[in-house]
Amino acid sequence: MKFGIMVNEGPYTHQAADTAYLFAKATLEKGHQIHRIFFYHDGVNNATRLTEPPQDDRNVVARWSKLAEDHGIDLVVCVAAALRRGICDENLAPGFRISGLGQLVEAGIQADRLVVFGD
């Protein structure tokens, strides 16, 4: 089965980002595909390289980057939501790219299921 994932909440403020990551990881381990992960609303904060969590805490941004690198997953950040929060190409973490809502629509069309995490 092919999944699209949408993340609407930022790291460290809501469980949705962690749950989405764990869902994506489990999905891949079960042999399914992930067409795209789309970050929207505060979810775009998962994509900033400016995040520096303490050494004893999880690095949510680095986990997303590694997942994308290891599995070739397209991590797309909504341009409007990103710019509202000061996120631009210069401060994106590796593996993320900025694009428009058309990428979310296309993910919904291409995937068998679009799973949304967060409000």
Annotated active-site positions, please?
A: 78
| Rounded distance between C-alpha atoms, residue 44 and residue 73, angstroms | 16
Name the E strands within the chain.
2-7, 33-39, 74-78, 96-99, 113-117
Edge to edge, the sheet with strand 96-99 lists: 96-99, 74-78, 33-39, 2-7, 113-117
Output the CA–CA distances (angstroms, integers) from residue 105 to 14, 22, 60, 80, in the order listed: 24, 23, 25, 15
User: How many Cα atoms sit within 13 Å of 63 on the Cβ side?
Assistant: 16
